[in-house]
Structure 1
Amino acid sequence: MKTTSNPTRNIPLAVLLALFALLSLSGCKKFLDEKPSKNLKIVSTLADAQALLDYYPELNQRDLGAGEVSADDYYLSQDNYNQMEENFQRMYTWEKDRLFAAEFNDWSNLYGAIYRANTALEVLSNNSRTAGNLQSWDNIKGQALFFRGWFYLQGLQIWSPAYQESSADTDLAIPLRNNTNFNEASSRPSLKTAYQLLEKELKEAVDLLPVSQPGLTRPSKAAATALLARLYLFKG
């Protein structure tokens, strides 16, 4: 015989389920608030910023090669061409798309390095320059400006028109990123604006960097001066 369920008997079960759901949500929030590893930390100190800029594989070993791969001053044999990765083959033959399909590519390397420099600069903005830290503070800022300028200048040579004074106000540069905010839309300034910004920041780097560094991978005053000279050569 079919029986009719009593709604009042289901109330305790409903309450228990609701309480369980609330506890689960609370537990999930606590879990998400926890760092996945005790070794992870927020980049916040000058030492952290210097460590970011000392990452040799990204800032010193990853110069952009797309310009050289697609240069027209050499030729490859068919055998050599066949041994290249597809994205390099497409650069070599000046294809318009699927040039940067690989996980590690020049475009991502460019903005990865710039993001690292921007992070270091934001750390400085959250740490006051004092009499006790001014040497390291200035040194870190000079290094960050140098690396950001170095990668921007490489990117400009590959993906922007050659600098011509007559058209620099209307020719577009690559997107310039000066912060780490992913929610801020990128914009492309004019080539003239981009070169003016790089010139200003590299001059500041020359003033901030020391004559010598404890490590050969850190940019010095001479390196920043040479990079500034290269900018003037490209600008003409």
Structure 2
Amino acid sequence: MKTYLLFLVALIACSGCNKFLEEKPRQKLATISTKDDLWALLNNENIFNAMSLVGEDLSDNYYLTDNTWNSIANISIRNKYGWEVSANDDVAWSMLYHRVYYANVVLESVGVIRDKLSDADYREIGAIAKFYRSLSFFELMNLFSLPYNGQSNGDKPGIPLRTSSDINVKFKRSTISECYEQIIGDLEDCMEDLPLLAQIKTRPSRLAVWALLARVYLSIGNYDRAFEYSRLVIEKKPELLNYAIIDEKKENPFGRYNAEVIHSTSNYSQLLTRQNCYVDTVLYAGYSDGDCRKKLFFVKEGEKKVKFRGSFAEDNDIQFTGSTIGEMYLTFAEASLKILDKKGDVIEKLNYFLKSRYETGKCPDIPSGDEELIDFILSERRKELVFRNRRYEDVRRLNLEGYNITFTRKLAGREYLLKPNALAYALLIPLEAINYSGIIQNSR
């Protein structure tokens, strides 16, 4: 998979939005005529399971040395590191709409050959396609639209909600509210048509839908619904790995489809390879010596530099971006405290989570004060989900709540800043997409 991902990154860097959708792929997809054709397309991990890592590229979990940054030839990749993405850079737009296109093809094709499919296949195939289209729309919203702030900006521009595979049909940018209605609506529609647990973890399941809904609702500050869906996941699959018994001597300590993985997705980023990036020093200092993640997630290089190795993708250069049970425990804890103030439930779940992550007798004390407890949960969330494409998404949300987190980079004596709630949190849409579709550009 790594070879394909490397190729895909290079392809995206030099391809425009509509170039993915030219005659050759359309002719090939026009041959879909059987159930096996549809399953073959959905089982293509290189299309449906290679998620964007741009949010992690833009986060503050890591840093590059001046020499490494200067050695990167691709200007789009260099621009991402300093939050200076221009309209000439195609940063994930094409890749994500590529996946939307294939999902739409499946949704249309399943209707065309309905008489050749059993009811079970018809429902599950359509549900899987809706899941991936929703996940793609959600990732696009995290990158190309400002974070949702309830009624105050619900009428602002979101993204084009392409629901047709016909590339000649042009879609305007829907509002932020309309986009989340589409994302959530599709997920709610598809959940009952998927098995509770998937036999193959690269396929979505009902648990994966609940986990994604919990993530979506958390990202827009709807803590009631984030609580409900994370609770559903934990009730059905509560078990966590015991990190204290995982072999830290292994190059990749975690199995790709380990027991905590709900749905497996991953991708490659040149900025995040072990060769190029180092873990942020403040982040690393937040892991105590009794925290098993400190030994399992990281490896030291010399006295001061630290590399990340804890990907559930079981590869040093491929980062896991999927959903896990551990993430759901932390979503549940944060959401339930904010809406219900049920400290007993929060502390019970947190204690179980912490015992799975720390050495025996070395779990940190859980704070008693409300503000201190929320900060503690958020700290655990960052340490747990490091390099999983969640930090940028979380900071967008938290800054709306007044956390005032500023991202900072230093390169060649120059300081780069991404300030709280900056317009730059909505990346500029690639010019080719603007010229092709006539949609409006993000403000600066």
SS at match of 2:168: coil
Could you tell me which residue of structure 2 aligns to residue 80 of structure 1?
68
Q: How does 1:23-172 map to 2 (within 5 A)?
A: 42-60=31-49, 62-72=50-60, 74-84=62-72, 85-95=74-84, 96-100=86-90, 106-128=92-114, 133-172=118-157
**Identity over aligned pairs, percent:** 30
SS at match of 1:173: strand
Q: What is the TM-score when the length of structure 1 is the normalising length?
A: 0.75
**Which AA in structure 2 matches 1:109?**
M
Q: CA deviation at 1:160?
A: 0.5
Could you tell me which residue of structure 2 aligns to residue 201 of structure 1?
186
SS at match of 2:214: helix
Could you tell me which residue of structure 1 aligns to residue 350 of structure 2?
none
Could you tell me which residue of structure 1 aligns to residue 300 of structure 2?
none
1:232 to 217, 225, 235: 217
Q: CA deviation at 1:233?
A: 0.6
Return the index of the structure with the highest Cα Rg.
Answer: 1
Q: Is the 8 A contact 2:148 2:154 kept in 1?
A: no
Could you tell me which residue of structure 2 aligns to residue 31 of structure 1?
none
**Which AA in structure 1 matches 2:66?**
Q
SS at match of 1:174: strand
Change (3 A) 1:76 1:219: same
Write the distance in 1 (CA, Å) between the matches of 2:29 and 2:123. Answer: 26
Q: Is the 8 A contact 1:171 1:191 kept in 2?
A: yes
SS at match of 1:125: helix
Gaps spanning 5+ residues in structure 1: where? Answer: 1-34
Q: Is the 8 A contact 1:49 1:119 kept in 2?
A: no
Write the distance in 2 (CA, Å) between the matches of 1:41 and 1:186. Answer: 22
Q: What is the TM-score when the length of structure 2 is the normalising length?
A: 0.41
Could you tell me which residue of structure 2 aligns to residue 20 of structure 1?
none
Change (3 A) 1:48 1:170: same
Deviations 1:40-67 (A, max 9, x none): 961132221221111111211x211222
SS at match of 2:159: coil
SS at match of 1:212: coil
Gaps spanning 5+ residues in structure 2: where? Answer: 1-23, 222-444
Larger CA deviation: 161-170 vs 112-121: 161-170
Could you tell me which residue of structure 2 aligns to residue 173 of structure 1?
158
Higher strand share: 2
Q: Which contiguous aligned blocks of 4+ residues in structure 1 show a shift greater than 6 angstroms?
A: none
Deviations 1:105-159 (A, max 9, x none): 51111011111110000011213368x7011111111110111111111111011
Write the distance in 1 (CA, Å) between the matches of 2:75 and 2:154. Answer: 36
Q: How large is the Cα RMSD of the aligned pairs?
A: 2.2
Write the distance in 1 (CA, Å) between the matches of 2:130 and 2:153. Answer: 23
Could you tell me which residue of structure 2 aligns to residue 6 of structure 1?
none
Could you tell me which residue of structure 2 aligns to residue 212 of structure 1?
197
